[in-house]
Amino acid sequence: MTWPVLLADAPQPGGGGFASMLPALMMIFVAFYFLLIRPEQRKRKAQMALLNSLKKNDRIVTVGGIYGVVTNVQRDADEVTIKVDESNNTKIRITFGSVARVITGGTDGEKAGKS
């Protein structure tokens, strides 16, 4: 007989089934949790802290890139009014979710919630 025929007749190892795959699946889930879910929870918590500390005269940047100064905060209506132009007194009403970050001082340093 030839080698391929002899190898084909050899007994095949039995499959381990689901029990042998369970530790690997658990490790994948743990890695998924620590690499994806946990950082997103931290980011969401930091954004909520930023929005809760928002007050009048804070300089902010919206998610659309608009710079402005907070003139009014209505927490019950989920609304922030910002002044974007000093000369024309132009104001825009935005939702809390539209605030990307709060700027402190004259530099690009940020208070909290860098996105």
DSSP string, the chain: --HHHHHHTSPPPPP--HHHHHHHHHHHHHHHIIIIIHHHHHHHHHHHHHHHT--TT-EEEETT--EEEEEEEETTTTEEEEEEETTTTEEEEEEGGGEEEEE-SSSS-BSS---
Q: What is the pLDDT of residue 114?
A: 47
Biggest CA-to-CA distance, the chain: 96
Whether the full predicted model's pTM is greater than 0.95, yes or no, is: no
How many Å is the Cα radius of gyration of the chain? 28
**Exposed, middle or buried: residue 7 (CB in 10 Å: 0-12, 13-18, 19+)?**
exposed
Site of tokens 């381990």? 16
Q: Which CATH architecture has domain 21-115?
A: Roll (2.30)
Q: What is the pLDDT of residue 1?
A: 56
Q: What is the pLDDT of residue 86?
A: 85
Q: What is the pLDDT of residue 109?
A: 45
- Over the stretch 42-76, which tens digit does the pLDDT of each residue have? 999 999 998 889 999 999 999 999 999 999 999 89
- Over the stretch 17-47, which tens digit does the pLDDT of each residue have? 777 889 999 999 999 999 999 999 999 999 9
